[in-house]
Structure 1
Amino acid sequence: MPRWNPAHIALRATAGAFVLNTGIGKWSGDEKQAAGVHGMARGTYPFLDAVAPQPFLKGLAAGEIALGAALLAPFVPAAVAGAGLTGFAASLLGLYLRTPGMHTKLRPTQQGTAIAKDVWLLGMGAALLADGLRKKN
C-alpha cells in the first residue's frame, strides 16, 4: 500500500471532495440537465454525438464519482490519482478553449469563468502526477 504523503492531503481532499460532489449531483440529473451537459460537451467533442444525453450524463457522473473517490482514497497512488485528475481537468479546459463565448484570447468571459477555474484542478493533478512519478525513480 502506498504511503500517504501529508503534502498531498490538501490537494487530494479538496479536489476529491469537489469532483465527488459534482458526480453525485449529476447522478440523478433529469433530461434537461442531461441535454444541457451533453450539448455543451458534444459541441467540443463531436464524437459524443453517438451517445444519447441521459447515458452520457450517467457515464460522466460515474466517472466523476470514481475519480473523486480515487483522490480521497489513501491506497490509490498519487501518480494514478494525479493522472486521472489531469486528464479530467484537461478535458474540461478543452471545453473552455473550444466553446465560443467562454473567453477572449485566454481571459475568461463571465460565461467562461465557471469552467476556467478548472485550471486549478489541472495544476493539482499535474502536481500529484509529477510527485508520484518522481518518487518511483
Structure 2
Amino acid sequence: MFEQIREGSAFMRQALQGYSVRQQALSLNLSNTDTPNYKRMDVGFEEQLRAKAKLTEPSPMTLTDVRHMPFAGPAAFSPAVSIDRSTTLRRDGNNIDIDQEMSKVSQNEIGYNAATQFLSGRFAMLKYVIADGGGS
C-alpha cells in the first residue's frame, strides 16, 4: 500500500511540475502580448505522463549489497517547452491571441487543482493509516 501511495505521489508531483512550467510559459505569453515579434510558448508533458502511467509494475530492483551497482530509477521527467514560430497574428509579428491564452490558463489551473486534490487525498490516506488505521 505504501508503495502505491509513493508511486502515485511521485506521478502527481511530476504532473504539478508540468503544470507549473506551463503556467510560467503562459504568464510570459500574456506579459508579452504587445511585444513585437514575440512568439508564444507552450509546454508539453502529458505524453511523458501517459508513458509513465502505462508502466504499471514497480521496479523490483533493490540494492542488497553495497558492492552492487545502484539502480538509476525511472527516466527523468522534463516538461518540453516549445515555441510556435508557425503563425503570425499581427503585422508586428506577434502571435499571441489573448483569448486563447486565457483559455489555456483556465485549463492549466483545472489540471493543477485536480492534481493537488489527488495528492491531498493520498496524504490524508497516509495520515489515516499511520495515525488511526492500526485499529485496536
Rg bigger for which structure?
2
Q: TM-score, normalised by structure 2?
A: 0.31
Under a length normalisation based on structure 1, what TM-score does the superposition of the two structures give?
Answer: 0.31
Flag the structure with more relative contact order, 1 or 2, with Cα contacts below 8 A and sequence separation at least 6: 2
